[in-house]
């Protein structure tokens, strides 16, 4: 491995909401990168990335048959759609923040 890449170079993401929970799915473009992403996109790294949003806990669900991951972020949406003062109350743009994460470049 040499250097790092932005996560968006290896995967795409989709986000949604349920109350004060943020849900972000991460799907590699190439299934061969799934193991690499499992090693580097952890609950801890995602929690640190979203710490400024007040996230209290991150749970990663692994979906090896797709291959994909689903992250559930607790306390990420300022109380949810009806109480948040944010412009993006549903958190749809949070997947783009996830994709800005730098990860080690995978071996070819």
Distance CA 18, CA 14 (A): 14
pLDDT at 92: 59
Amino acid 32: pLDDT: 95
Q: What is the residue-averaged pLDDT of the chain?
A: 85
pLDDT digits (tens, 9 = 90+) for 13-58: 998 877 778 889 999 999 999 999 999 999 999 999 999 888 999 9
For residue 41, give every residue at least 6 positions away whose Cβ sits within 8 Å of its Cβ, in sequence order, or none. Answer: 7, 26, 60, 69, 101, 103
Domains of the chain plus CATH, in order, are 4-101 (3.30.70)
pTM listed for this prediction: 0.85
C-beta separation of 53 from 85 below 8 A:
no
The pLDDT tens digits for 53-73 are 889 999 999 999 999 999 999
* pLDDT for residue 49: 95
Question: Is the pLDDT assigned to residue 8 strictly greater than 80?
Answer: yes
Asked if 103 and 5 count as a contact pair (C-beta separation under 8 A), the reply is yes
């Amino acid at each position: 491995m040499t250097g790092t890449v932005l996560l968006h170079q290896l995967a795409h993401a989709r986000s949604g909401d349920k109350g004060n929970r943020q849900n972000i799915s991460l799907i590699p473009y190439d299934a061969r990168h799934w193991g690499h992403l499992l090693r580097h996109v952890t609950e801890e790294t995602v929690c640190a990335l979203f710490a400024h949003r007040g996230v209290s806990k991150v749970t990663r669900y692994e979906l090896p048959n797709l291959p994909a991951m689903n992250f559930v972020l607790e306390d990420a949406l300022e109380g949810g759609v009806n109480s948040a003062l944010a412009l993006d109350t549903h958190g749809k743009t949070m997947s783009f923040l996830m994709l800005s994460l730098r990860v080690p470049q995978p071996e070819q």
